[in-house]
Amino acid sequence: MNWWRFVVANEFRKILAFRSDFWVTFIGQTVVMVLIARALWQSIFEANGTEVMEGFTLPMMTLYYIIVPLANKIMTGENVGFLSREIYDGSFNRYLIYPISFFQYKILTYLTHSVFFSVQLILIFCVFNLIVGHGLSVELLINLFFGIFIFLCAACVYCMLAMSVELISLWADNVWSLMVMIRFFVFFFGGSYLPLDFFPSWANALLKFTPFPHLISLPIRTTMGLATTTEIVTGLGSLFVWGIIFTMTAKKMWAAGEHRYNGVGI
Partner 1 sequence: MKRYFRLYLHFLQFSFSKAMEFRLDFTFRIIMDFIYYVVNILLFKVLFLHTNLIGGWTEEQMMIFIASYLLVDAINMTIVATNLWWFPAYINRGDLDYYLIRPVSPLFFLSLREFSANSFMNVVLAGTFFIYSIASYSEPFTLFQLMGLFALLINGFFIYYCIQMLMVIPVFWTQSPRGFIDLFYSLGIAMERPDRIFKGWLRVLFTVILPFALIASYPAKFFIEGLEAIDLLHIASVSIGLGLLLFFIWKKALRSYSSASS
Of 57, 5, 49, 3, residue with least CA distance to 195: 57
User: What separation in angstroms does the CA of 52 have from each of 192, 246, 254?
Assistant: 20, 38, 49
Question: What residues contact 211, with CB distance under 8 A and at least 6 apart?
Answer: 157, 161, 238, 239, 242
Q: Which is nearer to partner 1, 181 or 206 (CB)?
A: 181
Dihedral of CA 243/256/107/124: which sign?
Answer: negative
Question: Which residues in this chain contact partner 1 in the complex, by CB under 8 A?
Answer: 18, 20-21, 24-25, 28-29, 32-33, 35-36, 39-40, 42-44, 47-48, 53-54, 69, 172-178, 180-181, 184-185, 188, 193-194, 198-200
Q: Which is nearer to partner 1, 6 or 18 (CB)?
A: 18
d(CA 153, CA 163): 15
Q: Which is nearer to partner 1, 137 or 177 (CB)?
A: 177
Min dist CB 235 to partner 1, Å, is 22
Min dist CB 112 to partner 1, Å, is 18
Of 93, 99, 73, residue with least CA distance to 186: 73
Min dist CB 109 to partner 1, Å, is 16
Q: Which is nearer to partner 1, 136 or 180 (CB)?
A: 180
Of 193, 186, 123, 110, residue with least CA distance to 155: 110
Min dist CB 90 to partner 1, Å, is 18
d(CA 33, CA 22): 16
Min dist CB 65 to partner 1, Å, is 11
Min dist CB 144 to partner 1, Å, is 24
3-state secondary structure of 15: helix
CA 78 and chain centroid, separation: 10
The total of other beta-carbon atoms located within 10 Å of residue 254's CB is 16
Q: Which is nearer to partner 1, 112 or 143 (CB)?
A: 112
Q: Which is nearer to partner 1, 172 or 256 (CB)?
A: 172
